[in-house]
Structure 1
Amino acid sequence: MAATPGLRVLEQAGVPVTLHPYAYDAQAEQIGLAAALALGLDPALTLKTLMVEVDGKPACCVIPADASLSMKRVAAAFGGKSAAMMPPAKAERLTRYHVGGISPFGQKKPVPTALEAAACTAAKVWINAGARGLLLGIAPADALRVLSARALTLCA
């Protein structure tokens, strides 16, 4: 399996991960939930990567597949007044990943990143590895360190 930019970043940082390929369903209404179901994982520990704009500036939120962002909390988390989802085409250009395969690791341009605090208490979480149909298992502390991210309450 070809290494994604995210996997290369994690390897260079010496972070141990496990790889979990699954059959990607492009028609799934909620891709993160479909991935969790396909792999038999807890949706609360299967994290989706959402690109947002806070006062017009890009940011990355990594939250449980079964949760929804609170834009009010996102704006506050990144020190802004308003937040909105980034349009998919812009997210793809900014990250160099395709929607459904966006990883917080190895993005084209690093942006401020936050992980949902509730998921950070687990021993391991699963996050997109940078390709549709591929998750990686990682300790939340390692994810926070490599991403220079903060653990914050982002969900509604």
Structure 2
Amino acid sequence: MSLKKVEQVRAEKGFKVWDLVVYAAVIILIVVLFVVFVFARDASPVDVITVSAGFAGEQRTVCTYTFATRSLVYDESAITVNSRTEDAIELTFHAENGGHNVILIDIANASVSVTSADCPSLDCVHTPAITSNSSLPIICSNHHMIVQTDYISGSVIQ
């Protein structure tokens, strides 16, 4: 590099005005996205829980529980009620392949979790409980079972 070129580079300012505008716009975008995804979640308590059998086009709702009315509607060929108290309901989901998952609906805390299963991976058991409308669904890929809030699924047993 020539000496003239070095002096020219030194004479220029480090940042131009438009460089600073672009950097500021990127920082503002990052802050806005952070606020939207972290603070704008729907943390309202769970209203309705659905248990579905199958995936994609073959999915059918086999159980629906409404916390407000304490109403439980289920398909007896896929769901067995193990116990029902004032504070909790324990269900067993029977998969078409012969497997099962035990689902605990905690009425007192308005949450749902899978407490045990006979599949090898046990991903559904290790998935955190559904505690709000923005909670992730609980999925057992081996038994083709999905437990989710009706806020996401919008389905009802027919």
**Structures share a fold, TM > 0.5?**
no
Which of the pair is proportionally richer in strand?
2
- Relative contact order: is structure 1 or structure 2 higher (C-alpha 8 Å, sep ≥ 6)? 1
